[in-house]
Amino acid sequence: MLPAPHAPPLAAHALFHSTDLDEARARVAEVFCPHRLDRIGRGQIDARQHHLSGERLSLNYIQYGAKTLIAPGEIERFYLLQIPLSGGASIVNGDQHYYSSPKAAAVLNPHLPTTMIWEEGTRQVLVQIDRRAMMEHLSAQLGAHADRPLTFSGALDLTQGAGAALRRLVLFLVAETDAGSSPIGAGLSGRAVESAVLSGLLAAHRHDYEAHLGRRRAVPRPRHLRLAETYIEAHLDRSLTLEDIAAAAGISPRGLQIAFRQHRNTTPLGFWRDLRLAKAHGDLVAGAGYVTDIALRWGFAHFGRFSESYRARYGLSPRDTLRAAKGYGYQD
Work out the average pLDDT over 241-257: 93
Model confidence at 240: pLDDT above 70 = yes
> What are the Cα distances from residue 231, in Å, to 154, 187, 307?
22, 54, 25
Dihedral pair phi/psi, residue 279, rounded to 5°: -65, -45
- 314-326 pLDDT, tens digit per residue, is 766 888 777 766 6
Model confidence at 24: pLDDT above 60 = yes
Work out the average pLDDT over 44-62: 97
What percentage of the chain exceeds 70 in pLDDT? Answer: 92
> What are the Cα distances from residue 253, in Å, to 113, 227, 229?
39, 13, 14
pLDDT of residue 279: 84
Which residue from 53, 46, 84, 83 is spatially nearest to 67, judged by alpha carbons?
A: 46
Model confidence at 158: pLDDT above 60 = yes
Model confidence at 93: pLDDT above 60 = yes
Which residue from 291, 218, 229 is spatially nearest to 256, judged by alpha carbons?
A: 229
Model confidence at 253: pLDDT above 80 = yes
Work out the average pLDDT over 238-251: 91
Q: What is the mean pLDDT of the chain?
A: 88
Residue type, 255: G
Instruction: Please give the radius of gyration of the chain, using alpha carbons only, rounded to the nearest integer.
Output: 21
Domains plus CATH for the chain?
11-213 (2.60.120.10), 223-325 (1.10.10.60)
Work out the average pLDDT over 310-317: 74
- 196-234 pLDDT, tens digit per residue, is 999 999 999 999 988 787 544 445 678 899 899 999 988
pLDDT of residue 262: 82
**Is pLDDT larger for residue 317 or for residue 54?**
54
Find out whether 53 and 100 touch, Cβ atoms under 8 Å: no
pLDDT of residue 215: 46
